[in-house]
Structure 1
Amino acid sequence: MNDWLTNKSIVVIGGTTGLGLSAAKAFVKHGANVVVVGRNPESCLMAEVDLGQNARAKQGDATHAQTSLDAIQLCVREFGSFDGLYHVAGGSGRKYGDGPLHELTLDGWNTTLNLNLTALMLSNQAAIRAFMGMNRGGVILNMGSVLGASPSPQHFTTHAYAAAKSAVIGFTKSTAAYYAKNNIRINVLAPALVDTPMAQRAAQDGAIQEFIKTKQPLDGGRIGRTTDLDGAAVYFMSDFSRFTTGQVLTVDGGWSVTEGQY
């Protein structure tokens, strides 16, 4: 274990599965205390056992305003401080009616934006208020997606999701500019296709697997692993990024710079 995150206490919204859980494990490994939040009670129990004594898990829905507030309060109560927020929670709105614009339903639009943008705004707002209330700096890392800036019309046509992830970038840059004077850093991590519970439709589709071989050509051409983002997440939550704010780091295996073959 190294000490990149020693004495840091971090809240991970969406931290009981997938990318969030993988990052939480990395944070603990690097010395942090962690509070993870997830919607599923079973995944919360499993995460708390998995993460060990320097972690607490809390069940909650990220689209509810109180959820992030409660998680931050738990972090302060259990670990004595709150230093950073990593917002990972979100998801596909496909089953609610997201899709190509001519097929997109209003429920699909509203639900997808609620899951991926409103929830993020609420957690960021709670974190900002906590940092300002403590009269100290802090760090926020938001989860984006390559689809917010680099579309894939053949295989990934959820236009509300793309809009939400693009908005995460604009929201992050705007808030980063405003709160820089408070020494609060706010950045974005943008992955491509990663093997997570949300990505199972794509990960199990033979045509998409073939597409990914050339669209994400790094390391032999493959779907991303959750651990592929851990190093970047640790960097942003650590003091090594003390002079970095309003930035988007794309960890995508080459997606955004390759054409991909259908």
Structure 2
Amino acid sequence: MVANRVVVVTGGASGIGLGVSKMFAAKGHPVAVLDVQEEALEREGDTLRAQGARILTRKVDVSDRNSIEATYAAVREELGPIAIVVANAGISEGIRFQDVTVETWQRMVDINLTGVFHTVQAALPDMIDANWGRIITISSQAAQSGAADRAHYSAAKAGVIGLTRALAREFAGQGITVNTIPPSVVATPMAEAGIAAGTFPPLEVIAQHIPIPRPGTPDDIAAACEYLASDGASYVTGQVLAVNGGMFIG
């Protein structure tokens, strides 16, 4: 992978996003780490800088277009044109469909789907100018198989897959690839919070039902992002690269 391409990672201060941020930083890329978690941003940003990485951290609400636009202006000024976007920021919660309020539904869509729209669309001018770009969205196995008590989450993530495929067709002739990774069970703080709240089974229980019998790790997802962002993946677009240990095959 050519180094020194500017990378934007949303939800980049913890879990999958942090794994992705660390990977690109280790490969020599300037990385804009965006998240709503200020303490985690400061802590992880300082750690990466101490390792010699070129890092910009910003508190960003991906559902707020003005927040994205202002942050991208800072990214361009401090790091340069945006070449790679990993749209990872998202939320999940377990709630019965009949208990999903209009406000709960809208919040899920605003962050998990519209947030990807904002994150990607605002970065496209740089990629179009360069005739090169890599867009990687993080969707979910729930979008492929469905998930009980997560209808709103499944629907929003299915929208991410549809958006990814449409953009892949639209920008294929401009040197821009667009792919999605739908993880299944990954050991992250979000999963730990669900377990603590009783809305997600313990990971060791789920692992018994995975052909590769362990939960995924942020590094597993980061490795797939590294490939999809590489020059070697220039002929790969519109694809759903399932990194799930065989939990869903389809």
Partner of 2:42 in structure 1?
45
Deviation at 1:202, TM superposition (A): 4.3
| 1:217 Cα deviation from its structure 2 partner | 3.0
Kindly provide the amino acid, as one letter, of the partner of residue 141 in structure 1: I
Deviation (angstroms), 1:223: 2.0
TM-superposition CA deviations, 1:117-139 (whole Å, max 9, x none): 0111111110123323x353211
Distance 1:202 1:223 in 2: 15
Match of 2:139 among 135, 144, 158: 144
Confirm whether residue 68 of structure 1 aligns to residue 68 of structure 2. Answer: yes
8 Å contact 2:35–2:58 — kept in the other structure?
A: yes
Aligned partner (choices 119, 124, 128) of residue 124 of structure 2: 128
Whether 1:86 and 2:86 are equivalent positions in the alignment is yes
In 1, distance between residues paired with 2:179 and 2:241? 8
Any stretches of 5+ residues in structure 1 without a counterpart?
none
- CA distance in 2 between counterparts of 1:72 and 1:114 reads 19
TM-score scaled by structure 1?
0.86
- Cα shift at 1:19: 0.6
1:56 matched to 2:56: yes
Higher RCO (C-alpha under 8 Å, 6+ residues apart): 2
> Is the contact between residue 191 and residue 251 of structure 1 (CA under 8 Å) also seen in structure 2?
yes
Q: Distance in 1 between matches of 2:42 and 2:101?
A: 35
Q: Deviations over 1:126-172 (max 9, x none)?
A: 0123323x35321110010000011344xxx2100000111111111
Q: 1:199 aligns with which of 191, 196, 201?
A: 191
One-letter amino acid of the counterpart of residue 174, structure 2:
N
Q: Equivalent residues in 2 for 1:168-179 (5 A)?
A: 168-179=160-171
Hey, what's the Cα distance between the residues in 2 that align with 1:198 and 1:50?
Answer: 21
Partner residue, 1:113: 109
8 A contact 1:84–1:140 mirrored in 2: yes
User: Deviation of residue 42 (structure 1)?
Assistant: 1.1
Q: Residues 158 and 41 of structure 1: is their aligned pair in 2 closer, same or farther, counting only changes over 3 Å?
A: same
Q: How big is each residue's C-alpha offset from its partner over 1:8-66, in whole Å with a ceiling of 9 and x where there is no partner?
A: 11011111111111111001111211011011221111121122241111111111102
- In 2, Cα distance between the equivalents of 1:72 and 1:20? 18
- Whether the 8 Å contact between 2:93 and 2:194 is mirrored in structure 1 is no
Q: What is the distance in 2 between the residues matched to 1:177 and 1:210?
A: 39
Inter-partner Cα distance in structure 1 for 2:244 and 2:92:
18
- Cα distance between partner residues in 2 of 1:39 and 1:125: 20
Identity %, equivalent residues:
28
Q: Distance in 2 between matches of 1:7 and 1:239?
A: 13
**Are residues 225 and 125 of structure 1, via their aligned partners in 2, closer, same or farther at CA, if it must alter by over 3 Å?**
same
Matched, 1:217 2:211: yes
In structure 2, what is the Cα distance between the partners aligned to 1:197 and 1:248? 24
Name the SS of the counterpart of 1:35 in structure 2: strand
For the residues of structure 2 that align with 1:101 and 1:30, how far apart are their CA atoms?
43
Amino acid at match of 1:50: T
Taking the aligned partners of 2:236 and 2:71, their CA distance within structure 1 comes to 25
CA distance in 1, matches of 2:203, 2:87: 28
Structure 1: distance between partners of 2:224 and 2:179:
11
**Aligned twin of 2:156:** 164
SS of residue in 2 equivalent to 1:256 = coil
Q: Say whether the 8 Å CA contact 2:62–2:89 is kept in structure 1.
A: yes
Aligned residues: 245
Structure 1 position 178, deviation (Å):
0.8
8 Å Cα contact 1:13-1:68 kept in structure 2: no
- Comparing 238-247 with 72-81, which one deviates more in the overlay? 72-81
Name the SS for the 2:69 alignment partner.
helix
| Distance in 2 of aligned mates of 1:5 and 1:19 | 22
Amino acid at match of 1:164: A
